Amino acid sequence: MKDKRQQIIDIALGLFAEKGFEGTSIRDIAEKAAVNVAMVNYYFGTKEKLFEQIVEYKSLATRGILDEILKNESLSPIQKIEAVIDSYIEKLFTHRMFHRLIQQELILNQRESLQNSIVNNFIPNALIIKSIIETGIKKGDFRKVDIELTIASLNGTINHILLSKKFCNRLMNKSDDYIPYEDIKFKKRVSTHLKQLMHAHLLNY
């Protein structure tokens, strides 16, 4: 059985994803979590602090997956990059509404403390990918590339797909009611494209 703190986090995560930061109140969270407002305030203090806790919770979950990939000695550097791509697509497509909210906070920059929290929590994840690429370069598997912009290219492709459903649908000649993120074939298409891109970009043939 979940403890109350975790229950509040899970409920708040869904509400923030559905209604946005501004559209979600502490009272909304308390009511849906079946707790009183005082309990939410006891655990988190403010809505901003609760959001920051959720960002940390999500980033740590991703970091755990990336750490496992990094430490898996049975995988070559390019296989690790492929595993990162698959894990990112699965995680971000599944939790796309919250990911969009994160991106909005980064773009709008209305709450500096929240933006700092997002950046500080997710940069360590990017550094794990950086370590994989650096290892590939040292081993001679990868060419010498701009590592930081390589990571930005990976993230940027997925972010663009997640943030612009209508544009993607029109580009692919799909109807507006098509939901690409729930289409297994589309997820496979994105995965294949990014892997081909990274193979061409990274591998030292």
173 and 190, same domain (yes or no): yes
Torsion of CA 142, 130, 63, 85, to 10 degrees: -40
Least confident of 17-21, 139-143, 180-184: 17-21
In whole angstroms, how far apart are CA 110 and each of 21, 29, 115, 124?
11, 22, 8, 23
66 and 125 in a single domain? The answer is yes
Range of the domain at 2: 1-45
Cα separation, 38 vs 26, in Å, equals 10
Per-residue pLDDT reduced to its tens digit, 39-95: 999 999 999 999 898 899 889 999 999 999 999 999 999 999 999 999 999 998 988
The CATH number of whichever domain residue 77 belongs to comes to 1.10.357.10
Summarize pLDDT for 10-28 with one digit per residue, the tens: 899 889 888 888 889 999 9
Regarding whether 131 and 97 lie in a shared domain, the answer is yes
CATH assignment at residue 4: 1.10.10.60
Beta partners for 203?
142
Q: What is the pTM of this model?
A: 0.87
